[in-house]
Amino acid sequence: MPNSTSDVCPNQGFAQRSTLYQEFLAEREEILRHKWLESEKQGEDIGFERALLDWIRKHRASWRGARNKKLGK
């Protein structure tokens, strides 16, 4: 019988420690911010997929460059 939660879920917290997951969350936050700003400009919700594609095309490369510089990569 397991005596702690780590015995039940040995990978608990892995996602929170994963740098890949942290990058995903940071990028998602930027996409959601872009979605909000563009939706405000349009006067209607543009939807996540449209915001995602627009953000990738217009902002992803410069965002990654700035983020990598900030993180010292």
pLDDT at 13: 81
Contact criterion met (CB below 8 Å) for 39 and 46: yes
In the chain, at which residue ranges do the beta strands (DSSP E only) sit?
A: none
pLDDT at 72: 86
| pTM score of the predicted model | 0.75
pLDDT at 9: 53
Residues contacting residue 6 through CB under 8 Å, at least 6 positions apart: 12
pLDDT digits (tens, 9 = 90+) for 35-66: 999 999 999 999 999 999 999 999 999 999 99
| Separation CA 47–CA 39 (nearest Å) | 8
pLDDT digits (tens, 9 = 90+) for 4-45: 444 455 566 877 788 889 999 999 999 999 999 999 999 999
DSSP 3-state percent helix, strand, coil across the chain (nearest 5): 75, 0, 25
